[in-house]
Amino acid sequence: MKKFKAPRKALSDLDADTVATVVMAAADISLIIDRRGVIKDLAIGQAVLSADLEPDWIGRPFFEVVTSESEPKVRMLLAEGENADLAARQVNHPVRGGATIPISYSLRALGNDGLRLAVGRDLRALAELQQRLIEAEQSLERDYSRLRLAETRYRLLLQSSTDPILIVDAATQKLVDLNSGAAKVLGAAPQRLLGQAFGESLKPASSRAYLDWMTSLRTTGRAEVLRVRFALDNSEQRIAGALFRQENVSHVLLRITSVSAPVAGQGESPMRLTDIVRALPDALVVTDGDGRVYGCNRAFLDLAQLATEEQARNESLERWLGRPGVDLGVLLANLKQHGTVRLFATSVRGELGSSAEVEISAVAVGTSAEPVYGFAIRNVDRRRGADTRPGRELPRSVEQLTELVGRVSLKELVRETTDVIERLCIEAALELTADNRASAAEMLGLSRQSLYVKLRRYGLGDLDEAGVNTD
């Protein structure tokens, strides 16, 4: 603390009103207290504080206007006398609603008559700042605890894996982490291997192939399993990689498996289940919970007119379904609610403009948090073509009409609807008139010739074209 060098010279001419104004400007609250500790006068320099306190303190002892736990502090402050200005005391004033306002007071004698000036500073802003600091520290501690737990789980999973696993910096190709199985394959302690390029442990030809493989993985995010030979023992191994980002740095998780190790699904059968799925004539698609394609078989590629499976991956299945914004939403909603969908009728559009009527059956697997959906798509164009007579059979119900929504234009759909109603009316008129065509024509307001034309159109009745005059 630094005091004025010559306060008497500079401030001796100040009157009482000026001093009072200066005190109000410098302090949030000021109290004038007599030698008995009774408040004789007060001033509040902060409008917010004045609204909160609204004190009727004049004439009351200082220790009566504070909370019970602050009373000893006030008595101590008053007892210190002249030395009280050397150290501030924090006390709490009660307000409405059970709350309190913290004030830091310093005491200074005013003259020989025993009056003293208590200058107070509102500590609510400081208390709020301290509370925020405490909450931030607690939040950081919770985050740190979660990070430690995640680190523990990561270490446990990494070291307990039976497969050799490595983590490589995608940019530098250097080893970031590895488990004991990977260290055994590379023939050195993990600490010695960290920071080394993984390609250095491979044969020259395998090292070049590995670098090309890593370039493809970094570019596309995926790569096929690569066979490599290690320089240590000339053993041939398979490596599979998965690209991920951590702290704005790309990493690759490498898993090493022996070429001689059996592939899951082999042993009992000479052909893997995946091979059977890919060879099925019906289209099969596997998607995530949002309908984005994980994988598909050759039959789906043919329907969608795609050359490779890579063109379908990570694309929405809706891209090829007949009614955009409708079909996939209906399928996903039913899968989430019921777990299965059977014989959902729609169409599949190819990339080159083809279209095929299909029936879709689907199933949901996995957890509700991370579902995986499998779609079996069967082309029914050939079957429907065999069931349809020349000049396509008209729908006979509202249900059949609604099935046409999205497959034909609105204009064609309205024409179909008109034909259905017209046919139903003619059938009803024939039934009411006991197949008397003259009476049916009169009932419908048609000429006999017009009725015969419509009968031929809809294939109703046994008309002898030679015996009927339609002129």
Shared domain check, 278 and 382: yes
Under the banding of pLDDT at 50, 70 and 90, the label for residue 465 is very low
- The two structure tokens encoding residue 214: 């890593």
What's 282's domain CATH number?
3.30.450.20
Q: According to the model, what pLDDT value does residue 434 have? A: 76
Per-residue tokens: 434: 């006991």
* Secondary structure (DSSP) of 243-276: EEEETTEEEEEEEEEETTSPPTT-SSSSS-HHHH
Q: Average of pLDDT values for 46-53? A: 74
Q: Note whether 296 and 274 are within 8 A (CB).
A: no
Which residue has better confidence, 87 or 32? 32
Q: Distances from the Cα of 139 to the Cαs of 133, 146, 247, in angstroms?
A: 10, 11, 20
Q: Which residues pair with 239 in a beta bridge?
A: 226, 256
pLDDT of residue 15: 65
59 lies in the same domain as 118: yes
Verify that 358 and 301 share a domain, yes or no.
yes
pLDDT over 50 at 236, yes or no: yes
Q: With 50 as the cut, is the pLDDT of residue 275 above it?
A: yes
In a domain, 356, yes or no: yes
CA 158 vs CA 166, 180, 199, 238: distances in Å: 9, 9, 21, 19
Residues 319 and 403 in one domain: no
Q: What is the pLDDT of residue 242?
A: 86
For position 391, what pLDDT does the model report?
42
pLDDT at 423 (0 to 100): 84
Provide the mean pLDDT of the chain. 80
pLDDT at 85: 47
Is 201 found in the same domain as 191? Answer: yes
pTM of the model: 0.35
Q: Report yes or no: 255 and 163 within 8 Å, Cβ to Cβ.
A: yes
What is the mean pLDDT of the segment spanning 399-414?
Answer: 64
**Are 197 and 247 found together in one domain?**
yes
pLDDT at 416 over 70: yes
Say if residue 261's pLDDT is above 60. no
Residue 470 inside a domain? The answer is: no
378 shares a domain with 282: yes
Mean pLDDT (whole number) for 169-177? 88
Show the tokens assigned to 138: 């607690």
- Residue positions counted in the chain: 471
How far apart are alpha carbons 36 and 411 in whole angstroms? 100
Buried/exposed 45-66: b ≥16 CB within 10 Å, e otherwise: bbeebeebbebebeeebbbebb
Distances in whole angstroms, Cα of residue 120 to Cα of each of 33, 64, 333: 13, 16, 65
**Assigned domain for 117 exists:** yes
391 or 106: whose pLDDT is higher?
Answer: 106
160 CB contacts (<8 Å, ≥6 apart)? none
**Residue 343 placed within a domain:** yes
- pLDDT at residue 327, as a whole number: 82
CA-CA distance, 103 to 84, in Å (whole number)?
15
Judge whether 349 lies within some domain.
Answer: yes
Number of domains in the chain: 5
Mean pLDDT of 57-76: 88
Position 119 scores a pLDDT of 87
pLDDT range class, residue 270, cuts 50, 70, 90 = very low
With respect to residue 463, please indicate whether it lies within any of the assigned structural domains: no
Indicate the range of 96-110, 147-161, 253-267, 339-353 predicted with least confidence: 253-267
- Residue 443 pLDDT exceeds 60: yes
Residues 287 and 382 in one domain: yes
What pLDDT was estimated at residue 361?
92
Task: Say whether both 46 and 106 belong to one domain.
Answer: yes
200 lies in the same domain as 112: no
pLDDT band at residue 285 using 50, 70 and 90 as cut-offs: very high
pLDDT at site 375: 93
Here the tokens at position 389 are 């007579």
Task: Please report which confidence band the pLDDT of residue 377 belongs to, taking 50, 70 and 90 as the band edges.
Answer: very high
Q: Region 328-333: what's the mean pLDDT? A: 87
Mean pLDDT, rounded, for 254-282: 65
Helix or strand (DSSP H, E) at 238: strand 236-246
Query: Domain check: are 46 and 88 in the same one?
Result: yes
Q: Taking the CA atoms of the chain, what radius of gyration do you get in angstroms?
A: 44
Asked if the structure places residue 188 within a domain, the reply is: yes
388 has pLDDT over 70:
no
Q: Coil, strand, or helix at residue 167? A: strand
* 28 in a structural domain: yes
Which tokens sit at 208? 């070049």
Taking alpha carbons only, the member of 269, 252, 248 closest to residue 216 is: 252
Quick one: pLDDT at residue 156?
A: 78
Average pLDDT over residues 326-333: 85
Range of the domain at 25: 17-122
Q: Does 112 share its domain with 142?
A: no
Lowest mean pLDDT among 128-137, 277-286, 460-469: 460-469
Confidence check: pLDDT of 227 > 50: yes
Tell me the sheet residues that pair with 92: 102
Lateral strand order in the sheet of 340-349: 293-296, 283-288, 371-379, 355-366, 340-349
Supply the CATH number for residue 432's domain. Answer: 1.10.10
- pLDDT tens-digit profile of 121-172? 888 888 888 889 998 998 888 888 888 887 787 777 777 777 888 888 988 8
Residue 133: exposed, middle, or buried by beta-carbon count in 10 A (0-12, 13-18, 19+)? exposed
Distances (CA, A) of 347 to 245, 246, 377, 388: 39, 42, 10, 17
Locus of tokens 């002892």: 61
Find the mean pLDDT for residues 176-187. Answer: 86
Report helix, strand or coil for 10: helix
